[in-house]
Each structure stands twice: as C-alpha cells, then as structure tokens.
Amino acid sequence: MGIKARRVTVTCQKCYNPKIITMKKKTKKTAVITGAVFAVFAIVFIIFQMRSPVLIVTDMAFIPLYGDERIRDKSLRSSLVLFRPVKTVIIANDAGDDIVLIAINDISSRPHCVIFPLRFAHSARQYREQNPLVPVIILGNRYEENFIISALGGNANDYYIYTTDVHAEFHRVGLIAAALDMNKNGRIAVFMENNLQTQVRETFSNALNSGNSSPQAVFYSSFSSFSGSQDFSCVILAGTGSEYMDRESDIPVIIFTWIDPDLLSSGFILVIDDSPWAQTVQAVRMASQKMPSGRILSEFTFLKSRNADIGTLRKM
C-alpha cells in the first residue's frame, strides 16, 4: 500500500510580509510620480527659457532710486505671468543711441518686444528703423499723447504708445483721501503740477466728495506756497512738493513716485508707481492684441503705517 505524499506549504513570516510589500509599492509609485512631475517642470522650464524675452530699457541712475532687488522681484513676477523671460537692459547714464542698441542686441537679437521709457525716444526710433519686425513699446507715463508723438518725430504708426490712466488713478486716490478724512470734513493738501491739475482736478474732486463727507482739497503747484500751518487730514504728492518728503509727518501721505518704498519715512501710506516694471504685463498684453495706443493703470502699494488703517484702505 503506497503512501500518498502530502504537499505542505510553509510560509516564512520574515520572507513574506504584506505590509512591507505594500510599502515598497507605494515608494515605487511615489518615485514614479515625483520623476514625472520633475520631468514636466524641466520641460516647462526649457520651453520658458526658449521663449523670446521682453526687454525693458533703463539707465544706471534709475537703479538706486527704484531698487535693484525690487526690479528683480517685479521682473520675476512679470515673467511668470507672461510665461516668458522679462529682462532689464541697463544703460550707462551718458550712453549714446548706438550703445543702447548694442546693449539690447547683446541680450537678445530677436526679443518678443522692447519697452522704452519716453526719455529713450530717440534710441527707440533708431532701434525701430533697424529692427522693423520687433514690436517697440513706448511708455509715456503721465505725458499727453501729442507730446509723446512729437518726441518720436511725429510718427506714431510704428510704435505701441501707452500712457498712464491718470483719471482712473486720481479717482481712486480721491476715494482713499476721503476715507482718510474719516468724515471730519477737513482739508486735503494736494501738491500737483499745473499741467496735471488741468487734466484731473475735477476727477479727483468729484471722487473726494462722492461720499457722505465733504473734505476740501487745497491745491499747491509748488512747495513754496505751502505754509503748513493748516490742519490737514491727508497730504498728496503728485509730481511736485517733494520737499515735504524731508518732514517727519504725523499726517498720512500719498505719493506718486517710482522711489523704493523702503526709502520713505513712516508717514507714507501709499506709493503709486507707474514705472516700466509696474506696467510691463499690461503693456505687453495690449501690444500682443495689436492695440496701437491705450492707457495703463499704475500699481498701488500700501505701506505699513501708524497713520492709517491700511487694511481698510486695501479693501477700497
């Protein structure tokens, strides 16, 4: 009588552990996902670097005023929004037009577009003549369009000319000044050059008195006419009255400037910036839409201050 063999399976707990196998599978899956994500980011980065850059022309004298770190920060943000590199072309203060063109071509022979502040109008004309296929953007800030066209030699057809939307920004400033007055029906000191007053005085005054309070705007075209003896609930510096910056103010101060906010005293609560870096994204998008002219909003930067409730102002 034969003996029937019986198969016996012995499981070694050290050799087979479902938890270890599951962990290994999860680790492998995580590694695959991480590798895929890294590959995607690498491809996106390569595509980003290959895209033609946006170039912004400026001079060395402007850098300390605006702040080198601030330029890098704003350029990076604009690059991410536009998904193409935004680079600054820094020119020596006394450089001629030929040096400006060489500096631009050194960075890119075929940029997506080149942004010129109005003070480089002559260089922009020469660049446009030599590079007719590259869009040239002129930022005229608060100058009137006729003045800009004149600076370009009377020909506006070859450029994208964008100016600052002064009516929109002074409307906002009027609302903010009224909020700072806090229904005291007080006075707002406004330092504003005569040409700008002609454009926006009515817009500002209407916004200032659009609420329940009715503060009075007192306009000064120069600091010499300012006595400082009156009680003001707010001071606005728009192109003139820079001497007020030397004062340690207990009154909230709003300033239209490119100056680095870190250089301002604690009395300043709001910086309104219409520099090329503040307007890059809007300008490039408008040029991409083939808009030959238009108006661009300034960038409003609220600063920490003991003189105002910044949180309330931001909501406005």
Q: Give the 3-state secondary structure of the chain.
A: CCCCCCCCCCCCCCCCCHHHHHHHHHHHHHHHHHHHHHHHHHHHHHHHHHCCCEEEEEECCHHHHHCHHHHHHHHHHHHHHHCCCEEEEEECCCCCHHHHHHHHHHHCCCCCEEEEEHHHHHHHHHHHHHCCCCCEEEEEECCCHHHHHHHCCCCCCCCEEEEECHHHHHHHHHHHHHHHHCCCCCEEEEEECHHHHHHHHHHHHHHHCCCCCCCEEEEECCHHHCCCCCCCCEEEEEECCHHHHHCCCCCCEEEECCCCHHHCCCCEEEEEECCHHHHHHHHHHHHHCCCCEEEECCEEEECCCCCCCHHHHHHC
185 found inside a domain: yes
238 found inside a domain: yes
Domains held by the chain: number: 1
C-alpha–C-alpha distance, residues 204 and 187, integer Å: 14
Average per-residue pLDDT for the chain: 85
97 found inside a domain: no
Q: Would you say 299 and 274 are in contact if contact means Cβ atoms under 8 Å apart?
A: yes
Can you read off the two tokens belonging to residue 160?
């994208």
| pLDDT value of residue 24 | 63
196 found inside a domain: yes
267: DSSP letter: T
233: DSSP letter: S
pLDDT for 158-212, tens place per residue? 899 999 999 999 999 999 998 888 767 688 999 998 888 888 999 999 999 887 7
Containing domain of residue 172, as a range? 166-273+299-315
87 found inside a domain: no
The CATH number of whichever domain residue 226 belongs to comes to 3.40.50.2300
Residue 30: how many CB atoms within 10 A of its CB?
A: 10
Kindly tell me if the per-residue pLDDT of 214 is higher than 90. no
Helix 97-107 and helix 121-130, axial crossing angle in degrees, nearest 10: 60
| pLDDT value of residue 16 | 55
pLDDT for 150-165, tens place per residue? 999 888 888 999 999 9
pLDDT for 268-279, tens place per residue? 999 999 999 999
pLDDT band of residue 127 (cuts 50, 70, 90) is: very high
126 found inside a domain: no
254 found inside a domain: yes
239: DSSP letter: B
| pLDDT value of residue 15 | 55
C-alpha–C-alpha distance, residues 307 and 304, integer Å: 9
pLDDT for 66-111, tens place per residue? 999 999 999 999 999 999 999 999 999 888 999 999 999 999 999 9
Please say whether the dihedral angle defined by the alpha carbons of residues 116, 122, 127 and 129, taken in this order, is positive or negative.
Answer: positive
Please say whether the dihedral angle defined by the alpha carbons of residues 125, 131, 133 and 137, taken in this order, is positive or negative.
Answer: negative
Residue whose token pair is 């250089």 = 263
230 found inside a domain: yes
| pLDDT value of residue 211 | 72
Please say whether the dihedral angle defined by the alpha carbons of residues 66, 67, 72 and 73, taken in this order, is positive or negative.
Answer: negative
C-alpha–C-alpha distance, residues 53 and 87, integer Å: 7
Overall average pLDDT of the 107-117 stretch: 95
Nearest alpha-carbon partner for 144 in 120, 167, 171, 113: 167
Can you read off the two tokens belonging to residue 258?
């490119």
